Amino acid sequence: DMTVENFGKVILEESDTSMAIFNPFGFREDYGGKDMVPIEEQAEVKKRWPDKTIMMGGGLTPNQGLSETLNRMEMYVKEFKAEGLKLYTFDSTKKKGWWFDDQKLAYPMWEKARSLGVKNIGCHKGIPFGQFMARYAHPEDFDLVCDDFLDINWIAFHSAWPYQNELAALKGFKPQRKNLYSELGSTFAATVTNRPVECAHVLGQLVRDLGEDYVMWGTDSTLWANPQWQIEAFRRFRIPDQLVEGHGYPQLTDEVKAKIFGLNAARIWGIN
């Protein structure tokens, strides 16, 4: 389903999505030495819809060799015009994973990103799917890098669900922190369909503790067929009054939803 044509048709033509932020997938050790979705294919999407897409570089892990990783990062930015990074701290190498706060392996990547002008770096957090190790999906390694790289926005894709309360605590107990964000891809879709009360808790915790200015929309489409049903569901969704009263959750007003749907992302990506 992840063809160039289907991406444009499902996401950009058949939904209310005005700007798509997307990334390639790596794990080349599992796919005969070639990334699952190579950046060259993602670049075709950007070429077809240049004004409606923002591409993040991906498929990078320092466990494939730090020098190679830094060179690939530079190539992604300079040749393919990647505007950010979306990474996975679990991987398919023999080491199985790495951490964002590893000063030997990871910090050279963040210094390189800084030198390349990359301001937005995301990571798959939560949803420890498949054969991957759950510990590398925990958000605790965001804590130090948020402090050590204040000029970079750190984005927890999937909002670290089901560890979203621990992600939110990284801002809730450090209200001065202004560079930690969460993204809702798959988390909203997976919970709103058959766990609506849990969905309310997840959204409530994120908006209450991270803040309404730090939660961003995401769909993970085309994994979920198309994004439009998620858009419609979020427009209608409300946190039950008893949860608002009992847990101090903010209500998802139209103003809050507008921020989550796009205003927050537009701010950090510089979209007018």
Token duo for residue 210? 């991270």
Give yes or no for residue 135 having a pLDDT over 80.
Answer: yes
Q: Is the pLDDT of residue 242 over 80?
A: yes
Spatial separation of the C-alpha atoms in residues 112 and 67, rounded to whole Å: 11
Structure letter (DSSP) for residue 78: H
Task: Work out the average pLDDT over 237-254.
Answer: 97
Measured CA to CA, the distance from residue 54 to residue 84 in angstroms comes to: 8
**60 within 8 A of 39, measured Cβ to Cβ:** no
140-188 pLDDT tens trace: 999 999 999 999 999 999 999 999 999 999 999 999 999 999 999 999 9
pLDDT at 124: 97
Task: Tell me the CA distances in angstroms from 143 to 140, 150, 188, one per residue in order.
Answer: 6, 11, 24
Task: Give the DSSP letter of residue 250.
Answer: P
Other beta carbons less than 10 A from residue 219's beta carbon: 24
Note the pLDDT of residue 213: 98
pLDDT tens-digit map of 9-21: 999 999 999 999 9
Cα dihedral across residues 100, 106, 108, 112: positive or negative:
negative
The pLDDT of residue 1 is: 65
What are the tens digits of pLDDT across the range 19-74? 999 998 899 999 999 998 899 988 999 999 999 999 999 999 999 999 999 999 99
* φ and ψ of 17, to 5 deg: -70, 125
**CA 99 to CA 81: how far, in whole Å?**
26
Provide the percentage of residues in the chain whose pLDDT is more than 90: 90
pLDDT at 117 over 70: yes
> Which residues are registered as beta bridge partners of 245?
none
Q: What is the per-residue pLDDT for 12?
A: 92
Under 8 Å between Cβ of 174 and 142: no
Q: How confident is the model at residue 3 (pLDDT cuts 50, 70, 90)?
A: confident
H helix runs in the chain, sequence order: 4-7, 39-48, 66-78, 107-116, 142-148, 164-172, 187-194, 196-205, 228-236, 241-247, 254-258, 264-269
For residue 185, the model assigns a pLDDT of 96
What per-residue confidence (pLDDT) applies to 253? 98
**In which band, very low, low, confident or very high, does the pLDDT at 201 lie, cut at 50, 70 and 90?**
very high
